[in-house]
Amino acid sequence: MLLCDILVQFLVRTEHQHLFRITCG
């Protein structure tokens, strides 16, 4: 999913990777 990929890049840059697991399952 493109949106998820964009979200991952943002979260990685902001060091909030834990939110990725909540958002993208």
Choose between 15 and 4: higher pLDDT. 4
Residue 20: is its pLDDT beyond 80?
no
Task: Return all residues near 24 (Cβ < 8 A) that are at least 6 apart.
Answer: 1, 4, 7, 8
8 A C-beta contact, residue 5 and residue 23: no
**pTM of the entire structure?**
0.37
Q: Distance between CA atoms of 14 and 7, rounded to whole angstroms?
A: 11
Mean pLDDT in residue range 17-25: 62
Q: How far apart are CA 2 and CA 14, in angstroms?
A: 19
CB-CB contact of 19 with 11 (8 Å): yes
Please, which pLDDT band fits residue 2 given cuts at 50, 70 and 90? confident
